[in-house]
Structure 1
């Protein structure tokens, strides 16, 4: 895997853990004590998602990479929560689906926007920096 792939995967991991920590904190739960319990189903599904999407090939891609990573992480995470006896109430499924959409696809959209801005600025600045030929 390239450095960009490793960083993208680590960012996905951090965002999934942040999602779990935020959820635990919003329910007045002991965040640290239950963080692993809440995180592991989604982290395991994230690993599967990266494999299914072959995300290392285009780690910042939105379609299909980001969308596949998001969908597989949500579905896999919910299935693992269900088989491990954790809750999958409809409101939680909806919140998790939307939150993980914003996190896992959102950072990729931001990265694309930054790349587009840089390439536009780079193209303009290069043309201004080049002296005309005599």
Structure 2
């Protein structure tokens, strides 16, 4: 899979995470609500991809580098949420970490399995 496509798959799953999280909120503009929730994590995702590429000279296409992307996504995302007054309750941090790990590593696991078969 080309790196650009893989990055967009990560973005799509991150937006799914934000949309599901916002589904219980009544908003005038749900798209803006999703983007408001997603932007700190999108920055973290970009940081993760950049760190993996610059430090390992590899793309974050497999599970190993994907773990680094998940960690950066959650850490940077939560730091930005804290700096902007958004919630960082321990339960949210835990759920966000588990869901993002499942989504961002899950598609990589499926892609690796399909590539081997």
Count of aligned pairs: 113
Runs ≥4 in structure 1, deviation > 3 angstroms?
Answer: none
For 1:21, which of 19, 22, 40 is the aligned residue?
Answer: 19
Q: Give 1:36 deviation, angstroms.
A: 1.5
SS of 2:2 mapped into structure 1? helix
SS of 1:57 mapped into structure 2? coil
Unpaired stretches in structure 1, ≥5 consecutive residues: 118-134
> What do residues 105-126 of structure 1 show as CA deviations (whole Å, max 9, x unaligned)?
1110010111111xxxxxxxxx
Q: Conserved in 1, the CA contact under 8 Å of 2:60 and 2:69? A: no
- Tell me the residue number matched to 1:59: 60
For 1:6, which of 4, 7, 29 is the aligned residue?
Answer: 4
Query: What TM-score results when the alignment is normalised by the length of structure 2?
Result: 0.89
> What do residues 19-56 of structure 1 show as CA deviations (whole Å, max 9, x unaligned)?
0011000x334332311110100001111110011188
Larger Rg: 1
Which 10-residue stretch deviates more, 51-60 or 89-98? Answer: 51-60
Higher relative contact order (CA 8 A, sep 6+): 2
CA 1:40–1:56 in structure 2 vs 1: closer, same or farther (change >3 Å)? farther
- Tell me the residue number matched to 1:44: 43
Q: Give me the CA root mean square deviation.
A: 1.6
